[in-house]
Protein backbone atom coordinates (compact mmCIF):
# COMPACT_ATOMS: atom_id res chain seq x y z
CA UNK A 1 0.00 0.00 0.00
CA UNK A 2 1.23 3.48 -0.87
CA UNK A 3 0.60 6.38 1.48
CA UNK A 4 1.14 8.98 -1.26
CA UNK A 5 1.72 12.58 -0.19
CA UNK A 6 1.64 15.68 -2.35
CA UNK A 7 1.68 19.21 -0.93
CA UNK A 8 0.70 18.11 2.60
CA UNK A 9 -2.23 15.98 1.36
CA UNK A 10 -2.80 12.20 1.27
CA UNK A 11 -4.18 10.46 -1.83
CA UNK A 12 -7.35 8.54 -0.94
CA UNK A 13 -9.68 6.51 -3.15
CA UNK A 14 -13.25 5.44 -2.49
CA UNK A 15 -13.09 1.69 -3.11
CA UNK A 16 -16.40 -0.05 -3.78
CA UNK A 17 -16.50 -3.74 -2.93
CA UNK A 18 -19.39 -6.02 -3.85
CA UNK A 19 -20.50 -9.27 -2.24
CA UNK A 20 -19.46 -11.28 -5.30
CA UNK A 21 -15.88 -10.07 -4.74
CA UNK A 22 -15.70 -10.05 -0.94
CA UNK A 23 -18.29 -7.99 0.94
CA UNK A 24 -20.70 -5.19 0.11
CA UNK A 25 -18.93 -2.05 1.34
CA UNK A 26 -17.34 1.21 0.23
CA UNK A 27 -14.25 2.45 2.07
CA UNK A 28 -11.63 5.16 1.64
CA UNK A 29 -8.25 3.57 1.04
CA UNK A 30 -4.78 4.21 -0.36
CA UNK A 31 -3.54 2.66 -3.62
CA UNK A 32 -2.16 -0.85 -3.37
CA UNK A 33 -2.86 -4.49 -4.04
CA UNK A 34 -1.63 -8.04 -4.25
CA UNK A 35 1.69 -9.18 -5.67
CA UNK A 36 1.83 -11.16 -8.87
CA UNK A 37 3.98 -14.27 -8.84
CA UNK A 38 7.68 -13.38 -8.76
CA UNK A 39 7.18 -9.64 -8.14
CA UNK A 40 9.19 -7.75 -5.56
CA UNK A 41 7.38 -5.43 -3.14
CA UNK A 42 8.64 -2.41 -5.10
CA UNK A 43 7.46 -3.85 -8.43
CA UNK A 44 4.05 -4.62 -6.92
CA UNK A 45 3.71 -1.15 -5.42
CA UNK A 46 4.67 0.63 -8.65
CA UNK A 47 2.39 -1.60 -10.78
CA UNK A 48 -0.62 -1.28 -8.48
CA UNK A 49 -0.26 2.51 -8.16
CA UNK A 50 0.00 2.86 -11.92
CA UNK A 51 -2.97 0.52 -12.54
CA UNK A 52 -5.17 2.27 -9.98
CA UNK A 53 -4.27 5.96 -10.42
CA UNK A 54 -1.95 6.24 -13.45
CA UNK A 55 0.94 7.68 -11.43
CA UNK A 56 4.29 6.65 -12.90
CA UNK A 57 6.65 9.01 -11.06
CA UNK A 58 6.12 7.35 -7.66
CA UNK A 59 8.95 8.12 -5.28
CA UNK A 60 9.14 5.46 -2.56
CA UNK A 61 10.60 7.39 0.35
CA UNK A 62 10.32 5.05 3.35
CA UNK A 63 8.91 1.78 4.69
CA UNK A 64 6.21 2.46 7.30
CA UNK A 65 5.17 -0.96 8.61
CA UNK A 66 3.69 -4.38 7.91
CA UNK A 67 0.31 -5.56 9.17
CA UNK A 68 -2.08 -8.48 8.79
CA UNK A 69 -4.48 -8.10 5.88
CA UNK A 70 -8.25 -8.29 5.89
CA UNK A 71 -8.25 -11.85 4.60
CA UNK A 72 -6.51 -14.86 6.12
CA UNK A 73 -2.76 -15.10 5.38
CA UNK A 74 -2.70 -11.61 3.82
CA UNK A 75 0.06 -9.21 4.80
CA UNK A 76 0.01 -5.52 4.01
CA UNK A 77 3.29 -3.68 3.54
CA UNK A 78 2.86 0.06 3.48
CA UNK A 79 5.22 2.72 2.31
CA UNK A 80 5.50 6.50 2.48
CA UNK A 81 5.60 7.80 -1.09
CA UNK A 82 5.50 11.13 -2.90
CA UNK A 83 4.52 12.24 -6.40
CA UNK A 84 4.18 15.37 -8.51
CA UNK A 85 1.37 13.88 -10.62
CA UNK A 86 -2.41 14.00 -10.31
CA UNK A 87 -4.39 10.76 -9.96
CA UNK A 88 -6.62 9.45 -12.73
CA UNK A 89 -9.64 7.18 -12.28
CA UNK A 90 -8.13 4.11 -14.00
CA UNK A 91 -10.46 1.44 -12.55
CA UNK A 92 -13.98 2.91 -12.35
CA UNK A 93 -15.37 -0.57 -11.73
CA UNK A 94 -13.47 -0.62 -8.40
CA UNK A 95 -13.15 3.02 -7.37
CA UNK A 96 -15.64 5.86 -7.66
CA UNK A 97 -13.13 8.65 -7.01
CA UNK A 98 -9.64 9.66 -5.93
CA UNK A 99 -8.96 12.84 -4.00
CA UNK A 100 -6.26 14.65 -2.08
CA UNK A 101 -7.11 14.88 1.63
CA UNK A 102 -5.17 17.34 3.79
CA UNK A 103 -2.93 15.40 6.19
CA UNK A 104 -4.63 16.92 9.26
CA UNK A 105 -8.07 15.90 7.95
CA UNK A 106 -6.77 12.38 7.29
CA UNK A 107 -5.46 12.20 10.86
CA UNK A 108 -8.68 13.51 12.43
CA UNK A 109 -11.32 11.76 10.28
CA UNK A 110 -11.83 8.04 10.98
CA UNK A 111 -13.70 7.58 7.69
CA UNK A 112 -10.29 7.38 5.97
CA UNK A 113 -9.45 4.18 7.82
CA UNK A 114 -10.40 1.54 5.26
CA UNK A 115 -10.66 -1.96 6.74
CA UNK A 116 -7.46 -1.89 8.78
CA UNK A 117 -7.39 0.15 12.02
CA UNK A 118 -3.78 -1.00 12.55
CA UNK A 119 -2.68 0.38 9.17
CA UNK A 120 -4.42 3.68 9.84
CA UNK A 121 -2.79 3.94 13.29
CA UNK A 122 0.68 3.28 11.85
CA UNK A 123 0.12 5.80 9.03
CA UNK A 124 -0.99 8.47 11.53
CA UNK A 125 1.99 7.76 13.79
CA UNK A 126 4.31 8.06 10.79
CA UNK A 127 2.71 11.27 9.48
CA UNK A 128 2.78 12.82 12.97
CA UNK A 129 6.49 12.04 13.28
CA UNK A 130 7.14 13.92 10.01
CA UNK A 131 5.62 17.11 11.43
CA UNK A 132 8.09 17.23 14.35
Q: Using CA atoms, how far apart are residues 66 and 84, in angstroms rounded to an integer?
A: 26
- Each residue of 11-35: pLDDT tens digit? 999 998 766 655 667 889 999 988 9
Q: Which domain holds residue 121?
A: 2-130
Q: Using CA atoms, how far apart are residues 127 and 100, in angstroms rounded to an integer?
A: 15
> What are the backbone angles phi and psi of residue 110, rounded to the nearest 5°?
-65, -15
Q: Using CA atoms, how far apart are residues 125 and 75, in angstroms rounded to an integer?
A: 19
Q: Are strands 2-6 and 9-17 parallel, antiparallel or unpaired?
A: antiparallel
The mean pLDDT of the chain is 91
Contact 103, 127 (CB under 8 A): yes
pTM here is 0.91
For residue 86, give the CATH number of its domain.
3.90.79.10
- Each residue of 54-72: pLDDT tens digit? 999 999 999 999 987 767 7
Task: State how far the alpha carbon of 9 is from the alpha carbons of 22, 30, 83, in Å.
Answer: 29, 12, 11
**Number of folded domains in the chain?**
1
Amino acid sequence: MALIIKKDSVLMGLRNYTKDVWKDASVWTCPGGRSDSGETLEETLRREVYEEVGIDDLMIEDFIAKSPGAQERDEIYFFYCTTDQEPQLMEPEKFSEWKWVPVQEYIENDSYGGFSPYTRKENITYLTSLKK
